[in-house]
Amino acid sequence: MDSLYDVLIIGGGVIGCALARELARYDLQIVVLEKNPDVCYETSGRNTGVCHGGFAYDTGSLKARFCVEGNRMMGDLAEELDFPFKRCGKVLVGNSRADYEQLLRTMAQGERNGATGLRMIDGEELHRLIPSVVGEFALLSENSGILDPFMMTIALAENACENGVRFDFNRKVTGITRDADGIWTVETPAAYYRTRWIINSAGLGCGAISEMLGIHGYHTIGSKGDYIILDKRLGPMVPMPIYTVPSNTYMGIHVTVTTEGNLLLGPTAEVTQNYSYYGVEQKNLDGLYQEAMAIWPHFTRADYIRTYSGILSKWVNEEGVIQDYRIEIRDDLAPHAVNLVGIESPGLTSAVPIARYVIGMMQEREAFAPNPEFNPERRGIRRFADMTAEERSAAIAEDPAYGELICRCQQVSKAEIRQAIHNPLGVHTMVGLKYRTRAMMGRCQGGYCQMRISRMIQEELGLSPEQIEYNRQGSNLFYGKVREEAAR
Ligand SMILES: Cc1cc2nc3c(=O)[nH]c(=O)nc-3n(C[C@H](O)[C@H](O)[C@H](O)COP(=O)(O)OP(=O)(O)OC[C@H]3O[C@@H](n4cnc5c(N)ncnc54)[C@H](O)[C@@H]3O)c2cc1C
């Protein structure tokens, strides 16, 4: 049994990490429990990475409110926490009269929601912005943007950690009870935790945790989206994401540029109850090809680097209609527990406003004293790939490891891998290092650098080869030697 925490957060996705960071502003003992060996392993690392404008959600909904707020603050947040974000704008292209009318309705809804920078543009302006797009006209959202979802989540978590929040990984919550004195006991296979407050930000696990809290009856469904990642050579042709005409529940297939300059095609949208299947089927690849070609016909299958998918948790009512975010404290059923259900898109954009809203609800029940030592700033790893020639020379003079490239595709130096290995959260899986440095994310997908990185982890942390894990517990890279070294 561990010490008594003030707040225990279940889930190290972008919502849990935003909560941890925002709660670190107060004088509280906080722990985050995450079932995976790192943050950002589920939906928060498996999305499009778009900072949405706030026009595609019902007026008056929490989704609309938090999305508009999150969009507005994203520039300052990215600067404070040092993660990649570009307010590049985005277009929703149309071709027919029906498309035009739907886009006008979308724009009007956006304006009612408080979104700014929305206007209809004709074909000429559309093609001036993106010469290669197919479309007669578009709704332009000037304030939409793109961000790096891994780095955003990691930055929130690292800043929380640097401000005293504890992150316990490989801790799957399997049971929750409330004692007569109002203290919650949280069970994981590795340890028990005691806490005064508990927050359910478990993403796809929100329904299960809600049941454990004694709040019954939420029905959630998964919606799976598949993507194809294209080579960086095409990135400059798409200066901003290209979307089709959306509905209020599905944004449609889009062609999105990432902050790194790759292109994403996707996502599909399929209902699923299997929350651990991330495979991408051939029929979906073929469908993505066709639909993306209709708006941006400038890629071939040779441009594919890899595929991935993500699953959203949507809360639906008895008729199967998708509901707004549910964020509640049920004083009658589960006092001092915040229950977040159905935090689907635009959850990434909305993460910090959601966290602040939650804290507001908690403070209606208990005043939190400020943490006088809270530091909102966090600096990430200085990237060789982003430096000018002069900056590279200076960096190498200061640390010669900047002069040794470990990942050639993404130009990641030994110095960056080393800094990543010693990250504040203590994560040292191969995938954890990939998210932090982008090594292994290029054309060769780690063919060149993976073994070098694994050797660096061993050297830096004094681990044996058998202790190196790819992503999850048990995903060991090595199980012993095939042959012993010849005796010298
Ligand atoms: C295809 C797709 C595209 C999207 N595109 C965008 C976009 O462009 N812009 C945008 O704003 N939003 C987008 N979203 C939505 C956004 O990604 C999510 O709303 C957001 O990531 C949800 O974050 P979360 O922290 O709630 O969930 P998660 O990231 O899933 O985090 C929850 C965490 O809880 C952990 N957990 C679960 N159960 C337990 C347990 N029992 N014990 C311990 N830990 C547990 C999980 O391992 C997980 O790490 C997209 C989503 C998808 C699927």
pLDDT digits (tens, 9 = 90+) for 284-333: 999 999 999 999 999 999 999 999 999 999 999 989 899 999 999 999 99
**Residue among 77, 348, 352, 431 to mutate when testing ligand 1 (max atoms within 8 A of CB):** 348
What is the per-residue pLDDT for 82?
Answer: 98
Amino acid making up residue 50: V
Task: State the residue range of the domain holding 431.
Answer: 384-467
Q: How far apart are CA 145 and CA 87, in angstroms?
A: 4
What's CA 57's distance to the chain center, in Å? Answer: 20
The phi, psi pair for 396, rounded to 5°, reads -70, -35
Q: What is the DSSP string of 95-121?
A: -SHHHHHHHHHHHHHHHHHT--SEEEE
CATH number for the domain including 291?
A: 3.30.9.10
- The pLDDT confidence band at residue 1, using thresholds 50, 70 and 90, is low
- Distance (Å, whole) CA 143 – CA 50: 11
User: Does the pLDDT value for residue 216 go beyond 70?
Assistant: yes
Secondary structure of 187-221 as H, E, C letters: ECCCCEEEEEEEEECCHHHHHHHHHHCCCCCCEEE
Chain segment 264-291, per-residue pLDDT in tens: 999 999 999 999 999 999 999 999 999 9
Asked, for residue 67, whether it belongs to a domain, the answer is no
Mean pLDDT of the chain: 95
Q: Collapse the DSSP code of 257 into the 3-class scheme (helix H, G, I; strand E, B; otherwise coil) and give the result.
A: strand
Flag whether pLDDT at 488 surpasses 60.
no
Structure confidence at residue 378 (pLDDT):
98
Stretch 51-73: mean pLDDT: 97
Å from CA of 199 to ligand 1 middle: 15
How far, in Å, CA of 381 to CA of 436, rounded?
8
Segment 202-230 shows an average pLDDT of: 96
CA-proximal residue: ligand 1, atom 15 (nearest) = 345
| Residue 135 falls inside a structural domain | yes
154 shares a domain with 209? yes
Q: What is the CATH number of the domain that holds 177?
A: 3.50.50.60
From the list 219, 224, 223, 247, the residue with the least C-alpha distance to 326 is 219
- Count of other CB atoms within 10 angstroms of residue 229: 19
Q: Is residue 459 part of a domain?
A: yes
CB 225 within 8 A of CB 309: yes
Atom of ligand 1 nearest to the CA of 340: 26
Residue 487 pLDDT grade (very low, low, confident, very high; cuts 50, 70, 90): low
Given a cut of 70, whether residue 156 has pLDDT beyond it is yes
Residue 484 has pLDDT above 80, yes or no: no
CA of 454 to the centre of ligand 1 (A): 28
Mutate-to-test residue for ligand 1 from 36, 42, 264, highest number of ligand atoms within 8 A of CB: 42
Confidence class of residue 3 from pLDDT cuts 50, 70 and 90?
confident
Nearest to 349 by CA among 89, 79, 141, 63: 63
**Does residue 444 lie within any of the structural domains?**
yes
397 alpha carbon to ligand 1 midpoint, in Å?
Answer: 41
SS3 call for 184: strand
Domain co-membership, 427 together with 293: no
Is-above-0.95 flag for pTM?
A: yes
Contact by Cβ (8 Å): 292, 93: no
233 lies in some domain: yes
Mean predicted confidence (pLDDT) in 359-374: 98
**Residue 135 confidence class, pLDDT cut points 50, 70, 90:** very high
For residue 482, what pLDDT is reported? 85
| 283 and 425 assigned to the same domain | no
Residues within 6 Å of ligand 1 by CB: 10-16, 33-36, 41-44, 46-50, 52, 172-173, 201-205, 209, 225, 267, 310-312, 343-349
Residue 200 belongs to some domain of the structure:
yes
Determine phi and psi for 142, rounding to 5 degrees.
Answer: -65, -25
Instruction: Please tell me the distance between residue 469's alpha carbon and the centre of ligand 1 in angstroms.
Output: 23
> Do 396 and 439 belong together in one domain?
yes
| Å from CA of 62 to ligand 1 middle | 17
Report pLDDT digits (tens) over 116-130. Answer: 999 999 999 999 999
| Atom number of ligand 1 nearest to Cα 256 | 8
pLDDT of residue 2: 58
Residue-wise pLDDT tens digits, 170-199: 999 999 999 999 999 999 999 999 999 999
For atom 35 of ligand 1, which residue has the closest CA?
11
Residue range 91-107: average pLDDT? Answer: 96
226 and 298 both lie in a single domain: yes
Q: Which residue lies with its CA nearest to atom 27 of ligand 1?
A: 203
| C-alpha 351 – ligand 1 centre gap (Å) | 10
Look at residue 476 and tell me if it is in a domain. no
pLDDT > 60? residue 104? yes
